[in-house]
Structure 1
């Protein structure tokens, strides 16, 4: 996935993610035969779009996940750093090609790779996947929405170009009630669009002057974040509904009439209908004895009326104590704190490390949760850098029971990266030696008899 050089490119890469905005290029062609059964829903255990759903909740209630520590079943290289989408035994991956992989062994089932094209992460409908595709032709680039057969990758139809320019970009689309929503850019022009399944034509456009950090669709509303403001428009037209000022936003998710907006040190819950504040909470400094540093919030997940979110800590330790990063669960409507979980995978500190003279720098925290019907799966990392060259690092995955908030298992075999839970499996993306990888994880086997 390519990105603008600015830290706030049109949408941040989800490393913790949220809705990723891919600066891609793709293909332009005439419309093909109609899409079958376009308005139905994908299987209940699928992960059909980035963040699982148009609200970016990272909650998949239709599936479970490994109940014991996991091990790697297969790993395959990816041409992109985007998260895949998963349904019907296939993982779909965008990039310079659009590929479908078998979730059982990672083998390629089909690939579509016309020249000079790049595909966003596709959104999955029944029998069909939808991608925003950018195509370069000489010095001109265009973006179209394409529908491809989920079985073999054959293109069913494509829209007319949504945008044309020397440099174009497109977000991964989302599907809501027979309409495709997304964001495109050409040079300094950017706008949200709504494309009908039936007509394959743009029903409306909503121009945005600033770079967009996050967006979600819920309750008939498209909500998006620019650097210091949250805005909402109606999905039945480009009518602005409300706008609320906010600190710089690093995460956004929406469900149950509420949008949760996350900055580095605060969480605010707004009513989707009119943007009024339901609750707000601030995150103080690390504040543990012997520590000086900072805390920041990570990315949220929303599940059955709860907000699940972790913090990250960067501290200078003057005494040998732990502190900082915490995983919280709060009530979505009231903000009341329901549960709290301290860091599990802490960086290892040697007993003989001279804290006063070495001044080690400690970083650790929780990543973005992915939530199944019964389990919260949260990446975690930790590192210590000592003044004399001592370094220690740990990362992995923590599985937490949704009801009791107790740790079920931890694994250090998993890179600290966002995970996807679908079809009772776990999938993780990672980067090793500058190569992007997708790994399927399953419950580890034992030699017990």
Structure 2
């Protein structure tokens, strides 16, 4: 499922690094000027919804950027962080990067930071350290919503809100568990999961409601929002729950199976929810009441992206697959991994003509490769090799660029690469 799930985050960033970020109570590299709530709200950035403001681009988690067309890209710029990196958000001419500066030259002992960088050349416009100490970050990628940036903080196990224009602290809410999944901005509120509960906040940081899971359930995937509902999924005893965004956050419906559900992707009133481990399927559910439409058995290793007509996902055999959204019928399958030790585990990005994924190299001496295939035929359109061997998460696209988060398997380098036709 999404590469920023709790499982993969701990595997790639390292559980030891997370512990190092959490042990330093009383050490506030980000200062102590984070209020519990903000006095007012922030104005949305211009064309905020036209970029890539949150995980999988939109509240439906479609992963679809139809206005972006790239035909023959090269690396335009790259930035590096040494202790961790999350998938960026992109709005207008700013790329919002959340990572760690553990051993970055000139930053002292380092810590968790949010950067705003220029989309044209990667130059930093502002930086905001977060409270705490250590060389790891939460697995929660930046959410840009109505003029603020929201990230999870592993050091202080909470959600932090910053002003998107200057990085100024707005509010912070500490939680019992780290927020390691992408937050959701939907219908005026921000929703964040700790793994055992879903928290709803207004834009000033005031808690609206909490949806708590039982001891037999765990949430390890980002929520989605569509059709007036927040969709929250669980594993162990698997369920997909449709929650009311307002009021008390009560559930409208629940779909339960003995499976571990991933992040829902919504198109035309249908929620497509993949499951993993022993029961690898896609479940198509009616968004209005959770009614089952169809189920397709397929061994996906990623979440699902959609252009509305087709669903796209990567399999554990290294294939990129296209299915019809109406029935789950396979339309094409393209093998992108042929080496036994290489793998394909990034959530697909769908652009004007392409489906874009990044494959890991077979070993640390190889190069990760970003590949675009034609979304209608499955034929390879272009490839770009990178200077490091692992794909950290799925690519994002906005403003004529594709941004690919990567890392070296020895843990020494985390790299964000901007690709374009320029």
Q: TM-score range by the shorter chain?
A: 0.7 to 0.9
Q: Does structure 1 residue 68 correspond to structure 2 residue 72?
A: yes
Measured at CA, do residues 346 and 8 of structure 1 come closer, stay the same or move farther in structure 2, by a change above 3 Å?
closer
Measured at CA, do residues 108 and 239 of structure 1 come closer, stay the same or move farther in structure 2, by a change above 3 Å?
same
Q: Does structure 1 residue 108 correspond to structure 2 residue 140?
A: no
Tell me the CA shift for residue 152 of structure 1: 1.5
Q: 1:399 aligns with which of 372, 379, 404?
A: 372
Tell me the CA shift for residue 407 of structure 1: 2.2
8 A contact 2:371–2:382 mirrored in 1: yes
Equivalence for 1:372? 351
Tell me the CA shift for residue 371 of structure 1: 1.0
Equivalence for 1:266? 281
Structure 1: 5+ residue stretches without partners: 1-6, 17-21, 137-141, 284-294, 314-324, 348-360, 385-390, 445-449
Tell me the CA shift for residue 424 of structure 1: 1.0
Measured at CA, do residues 366 and 102 of structure 1 come closer, stay the same or move farther in structure 2, by a change above 3 Å?
same
Give the whole-Å Cα distance in 2 for the aligned partners of 1:407 and 1:8. 26
Equivalence for 1:441? 419
TM-score (norm 1): 0.72
Measured at CA, do residues 111 and 394 of structure 1 come closer, stay the same or move farther in structure 2, by a change above 3 Å?
closer
Equivalence for 1:206? 211
Tell me the CA shift for residue 42 of structure 1: 4.2
Tell me the CA shift for residue 401 of structure 1: 2.5
Tell me the CA shift for residue 145 of structure 1: 4.2
Equivalence for 1:289? none
8 A contact 1:346–1:394 mirrored in 2: no
Secondary structure of the structure 1 residue equivalent to 2:9: coil
The one-character-per-residue Cα deviations of 1:261-308 (angstroms, maximum 9, x if unpaired) are 22243222122222222111224xxxxxxxxxxx65433212223211
Give the CA RMSD over aligned residues. 3.5
Question: After superposition, where does 1:223-242 map in structure 2 within 5 Å?
Answer: 223=231, 224-232=233-241, 233-236=243-246, 237-240=248-251, 241-242=253-254
Equivalence for 2:402? 426
Q: 1:152 aligns with which of 163, 166, 176?
A: 166
Structure 2: 5+ residue stretches without partners: 13-17, 23-29, 100-111
8 A contact 1:99–1:108 mirrored in 2: yes
Tell me the CA shift for residue 396 of structure 1: 1.1
Higher alpha-carbon Rg: 1
Secondary structure of the structure 2 residue equivalent to 1:437: strand
Q: 1:184 aligns with which of 170, 180, 194?
A: 194
Give the whole-Å Cα distance in 1 for the aligned partners of 2:284 and 2:377. 24
TM-score (norm 2): 0.76
Measured at CA, do residues 408 and 150 of structure 1 come closer, stay the same or move farther in structure 2, by a change above 3 Å?
same
Measured at CA, do residues 15 and 57 of structure 1 come closer, stay the same or move farther in structure 2, by a change above 3 Å?
farther
Equivalence for 1:331? 324
Q: Does structure 1 residue 131 correspond to structure 2 residue 136?
A: no
Q: Does structure 1 residue 244 correspond to structure 2 residue 263?
A: no
8 A contact 1:227–1:249 mirrored in 2: no
Equivalence for 1:255? 267
Measured at CA, do residues 173 and 228 of structure 1 come closer, stay the same or move farther in structure 2, by a change above 3 Å?
same
The one-character-per-residue Cα deviations of 1:231-281 (angstroms, maximum 9, x if unpaired) are 212222321221321423455423332222222432221222222221112
Give the whole-Å Cα distance in 2 for the aligned partners of 1:64 and 1:31. 37
Higher strand fraction (1 or 2): 1
Measured at CA, do residues 135 and 413 of structure 1 come closer, stay the same or move farther in structure 2, by a change above 3 Å?
closer
Equivalence for 2:307? 303
